[in-house]
Amino acid sequence: MPLITYREAIRHALAEELTRDPNVVVMGEEVAQFNGAYKVTEGLLEKFGPKRIVDTPISEAGFIGLGLGASMLGIRPVMELMFWSFYSVAFDQVLNNAANVRYMSGGQINCPIVIRGPANGGTNVGATHSHTPENVLASHPGVKVVVPSTAYDAKGLLKSAIRDNDPVMFLENTILYGDKGEVPAEEYLIPLGLADVKRAGTDLTIVTYGRPVILSLAAAEVLQKEHNLSVEIVDLRSIRPLDIDTVLASVRKTHRVLVVEEQKPFCGVGAQLTYMIQHEAFDDLDGPIARLCTIDAPAIYSPPVEAEQLPNARRIIEAALATVAGSQ
């Protein structure tokens, strides 16, 4: 299979869907003439023209509202946010309108809009550009929330998101854009709401998503080699809908759980996961469920300090060893 970057995988998904469906359009700041702030949309303007690849003013409230209205009229807009941190400017459009329109219209009006862009820390751009709002988004019925960790997943999930009739919030990671992975040349789709076991194991389940999947895989190799600890990695891929069945199957296999997320701990995705696991599989647990999150403070600008604020392989190794020790 071809080896391409996470960035290229997203671009290929966009190009394939733009070719397949004339109602698909891409809109956002600098997506056309500048080829995208992160070069994800490079070359699309030349191929599809200015009516399909549209530069917008620097007004998230304005262009997300434009996309929302277009989606209710049969267009399938893919809206790029330069940072997901800026979604709060369009909070009403995203979560008060897009999330509710199908329900409030009795199913008569669909809202097939995708809003995509980076949502992560670790790039030392400060607290106002480093939010991970998947927990806020997922708390609103009516939206779907996707967080891919690999190039393969990014392409397959984005194609499914574009074809979905509900609003899909697609959260990427700038640190992953250059990561390479095997991606089939032939077309494929990954259903939304289907988790993936990225690594099989028997002693501990790590449930995670996004970039922490990559960090957890690195930590798992060290844990196997240096501590003879077999770790299973479950990549949620989709926060809502959530594939709890795959998570529970892993828990019932390993009997120990560590949830790793690039989220602040209070009211995070991990809190919901922890409740669901203990509610459904309490008797299968040999010890308390553990969580490893971003340290609970606004994103720190200092590179060495932010690196410690976020989950990293060392912190995951320490948390994994503590989780197993606490269950013995």
Helix (H, G, I), strand (E, B) or coil at 62: helix
Asked if pLDDT for residue 328 goes beyond 90, the answer is: no
Mean pLDDT to the nearest integer, 170-192: 97
Asked if pLDDT for residue 150 goes beyond 80, the answer is: yes
Q: What pLDDT, on a 0 to 100 scale, did the predictor assign at position 315?
A: 97
pLDDT digits (tens, 9 = 90+) for 96-124: 999 999 999 999 999 999 999 999 999 99
Vertex 251: Cα angle to 245 and 256 (nearest 5): 155
- Residues β-bridged to residue 233: 199, 206
Q: What pLDDT, on a 0 to 100 scale, did the predictor assign at position 255?
A: 97
Helix (H, G, I), strand (E, B) or coil at 203: coil
| Per-domain residue ranges of the chain | 3-182, 196-326
Cα-flanking dihedrals φ and ψ of residue 5, to 5°?
A: -80, 160
Topology adopted by domain 196-326: Rossmann fold (3.40.50)
**196-199: strand order across its sheet:** 196-199, 231-235, 204-208, 257-260, 290-292
Mean pLDDT to the nearest integer, 165-170: 98
Question: Do 3-182 and 196-326 share a fold?
Answer: yes
Note the CATH number of domain 3-182.
3.40.50.970
pLDDT-derived band at 326, boundaries 50, 70, 90: confident
Distance of alpha carbon 260 from alpha carbon 272, whole angstroms: 13
Mean pLDDT to the nearest integer, 173-179: 97
pLDDT-derived band at 297, boundaries 50, 70, 90: very high
pTM tops 0.85: yes
Distances (CA, A) of 209 to 15, 97, 155, 239, 276: 25, 27, 16, 8, 17
User: Which residues have C-beta within 8 Å of that of residue 19, sequence separation ≥ 6?
Assistant: none
pLDDT digits (tens, 9 = 90+) for 36-54: 999 999 999 999 999 999 9
Mean per-residue pLDDT of the chain = 96
Show the beta-strand stretches assigned E in 17-160: 24-28, 53-55, 76-80, 114-118, 144-146
pLDDT-derived band at 77, boundaries 50, 70, 90: very high
- Enter the DSSP assignment of 23: T
Query: Percent of the chain having pLDDT more than 70?
Result: 99
DSSP conformation letters of 247-284: HHHHHHHHS-EEEE-SS-STT-HHHHHHHHHHHHHGGG
Mean pLDDT to the nearest integer, 308-312: 96
Cα-flanking dihedrals φ and ψ of residue 320, to 5°?
A: -65, -45
pLDDT digits (tens, 9 = 90+) for 236-270: 999 999 999 999 999 999 999 999 999 999 999 99
The set of catalytic residues is 60, 129
Mean pLDDT to the nearest integer, 293-298: 96
